Structure 1
Amino acid sequence: MRARVRRACSALRQIVAAGGGKHRPHRDEVTVPVATLLRPREATVNDLAYCPAEQRQTLHAFLALGGRVCWTCRTHTMHGPLKSTPEQGGAE
């Protein structure tokens, strides 16, 4: 019975003060919220485009550095980076 209580207290102490043991350095990092970690940094816009794997129009995430990812099958298709303005004489 005492061994169980000792193990339970030890487990609780490890949860409360994790990283402060003899063999593990104490963690002083800043905790980052999950919402910040999951925020997309490269995707700029969602739009319909032709998916070569699905062989039809599907919703894609267009990436700022070039390429797009199909939301249905996650196929990555490469193309040049997106531009916010058309090139000179491109929209005539």
Structure 2
Amino acid sequence: MKPLRALRQIVAPAGRHRPRRVEETVPVAVLMRPEEAMVNDLGWCPAEQRETLHAFLRTGGRVCWTCRWKTDHDPLKSASAPGGAE
């Protein structure tokens, strides 16, 4: 056996010269968390023709929790204007 190879076998046995990759495990609850939903509230669903629970989206629009119908509108603001509604 060559001296250099013997030294390599001591430092990294079985030919493992590179460190093993460690993958980070992400919990399922974090993966399933909605990133764009701001709030849930009642809203008019045009598909069902009645008020149902909706997820209001940060990017604008809302999604009905019953039938999954998406209604588009402008993005919601976190605070109303000082003079009242715009």
Same fold (TM over 0.5): yes
Q: List aligned pairs for 1:1-92, cutoff 5 A.
A: 28-91=22-85
Report the Cα distance in structure 2 between the residues aligned to 1:44 and 1:84, rounded to whole angstroms.
Answer: 9
Report the Cα distance in structure 2 between the residues aligned to 1:36 and 1:54, rounded to whole angstroms.
Answer: 32
- Structure 2 stretches lacking a partner, 5+ long: 1-19
- Structure 1 stretches lacking a partner, 5+ long: 1-25
Residue 28 of structure 1 aligns to a residue whose secondary structure is: coil
Question: How much has 1:27 moved relative to structure 2?
Answer: 5.7
48-57 vs 28-37, which deviates more?
Answer: 28-37
Percentage of pairs with the same residue: 70
Question: How much has 1:29 moved relative to structure 2?
Answer: 1.9
TM-score normalised according to structure 2 size: 0.68
1:46-89 deviation line (CA, Å, top 9, x unaligned): 11000010011000000011010000000011101011222353
1:21-48 deviation line (CA, Å, top 9, x unaligned): xxxxx76321111111011111111110
Paired letter, 2:54: H
Larger Rg: 2
Calculate the aligned-residue CA RMSD, in Å: 1.6
TM-score normalised according to structure 1 size: 0.64
